[in-house]
Amino acid sequence: MIDQAVQHLRAGRLVAFPTETVYGLGADATNADAVRAIFAAKGRPATNPLIVHVADIETAQKFTTGWSDAAQTLAAAWWPGPLTIVLPKHPSIVDEATAGLQTVGLRVPDHPVALELLKAFGGAVAAPSANRSNHLSPTTAEHVRDDLGDRVNLVLDGGPCKVGIESTVLDLTGEVPTILRPGGVSRRQLEFILGTVREPDLVAAPAASQTSPGQMERHYAPLTPAVRFETAQRGLIHPQTDAQSNGIVVLSPLKIFKKWGPIVAMPNDPTEYAQHLYAVLHELDGMRLRTIYIEVPPEKPEWIAIRDRIRRATVPLD
């Protein structure tokens, strides 16, 4: 299957493959037509740049004109892993992959199937999440097939993703390293290596070229209407009554993970919560519910990436 996948990539076709974060929809990052096919398959706006996946540090260095000491230190610590590093791009990466920006997000994923594919291909694979734009990210091959169907030429099945939410995107092109999207590597972990790291509350304007994936106000969302609420608002939610009238399931960060019933009890550990989040929302989306209510986890540093995904997937409780 890897040989077949490489043939597809070299022919300018699309291959979905697993990573530790979510499944990616891959194409040759040096082929403009192939990259445009990603945007067409997803219905993704051209202003939203793609992350470029490579097999190792040495390959990453070929696709940037500004490999720095900070990049080397971070890559040595976190690659393979859920960290994307934004650097000046090499001209071989087509502008279509970077929304016309002269920077590129590079990552070495931590999944044996992804690494085997990237090593066999030997180049750069642009790969956003393998789903329709703004839909839930896929964490299984089945999610990819259900959402993209025949828009993708081949799906490599590597089982469920172990991280479950997208990578952290860190921009190293400015004076201060800046997190453009929170993810599997926390600000605290980055600051342990780099010192000061900025983490602005960033929501991109729809018409502007975004500096990173995951900055749209609405993103990673189920098709079922989803509403978020704070713990202090629990008294406004009545899951037993509302669930019987087809419709409302509450996800709460509790000490156990249990499904289903009117309440889905999510893990109290942020790592475990992230592993389950998209998979649970995919299942709820298939239940034809009227509404999904999601209790927002605590406003603590270790929950930032999950709170970000929930905020973009929901509207606030009135």
pLDDT value of residue 318: 79
What DSSP character marks residue 271?
H
| Residue 283 located in a structural domain | yes
Answer yes or no: are the C-beta atoms of 149 and 141 closer than 8 Å: no
Does the N-terminal peptide bond of residue 260 adopt cis geometry, omega within 30 degrees of 0? Answer: yes
Kindly report the average pLDDT of the chain as a whole number: 89
Element (H, E) at 188: helix 187-194
- Is 107 a known ligand-binding residue? yes
| Residue 212 located in a structural domain | no
- Is 167 a known ligand-binding residue? yes
- CB neighbourhood size of 180 (10 A): 24
- Note the pTM of the prediction, 2 decimals: 0.90
Residues 43 and 185 in one domain: yes
- Is 307 a known ligand-binding residue? no
| Residue 216 located in a structural domain | no
Structure tokens at 62: 């070929």
Residues 115 and 188 in one domain: yes
How many domains does the structure of the chain reveal?
Answer: 2
- Is 103 a known ligand-binding residue? yes
| Residue 24 located in a structural domain | yes
Mean pLDDT of 274-285: 92
- Is 48 a known ligand-binding residue? yes
| CA 34/CA 292 separation, integer angstroms | 36
Residues 108 and 55 in one domain: yes
| Residue 14 located in a structural domain | yes
| CA 196/CA 182 separation, integer angstroms | 15
- Is 220 a known ligand-binding residue? yes
- Is 127 a known ligand-binding residue? yes
- CB neighbourhood size of 102 (10 A): 12
Range of the domain at 53: 2-194
Question: Which of 144, 175, 194 is at the close of a domain?
Answer: 194
pLDDT value of residue 236: 83
Order across the sheet with 263-266: list the strands.
263-266, 248-253, 291-295, 226-229, 315-316
Answer yes or no: are the C-beta atoms of 239 and 250 closer than 8 Å: yes
- Is 293 a known ligand-binding residue? no
Residues 64 and 129 in one domain: yes
Structure tokens at 81: 């892993």
Residues 153 and 271 in one domain: no
| Residue 217 located in a structural domain | no
Q: Encode pLDDT of 152-165 as tens digits.
A: 999 999 999 999 99
| Residue 219 located in a structural domain | no
Least confident segment among 144-153, 258-267, 298-307 = 258-267
Q: Encode pLDDT of 101-141 as tens digits.
A: 999 999 999 999 999 999 999 999 999 999 999 899 999 99
Q: Which residues contact 7 (CB under 8 A, 6 or more apart)?
A: none
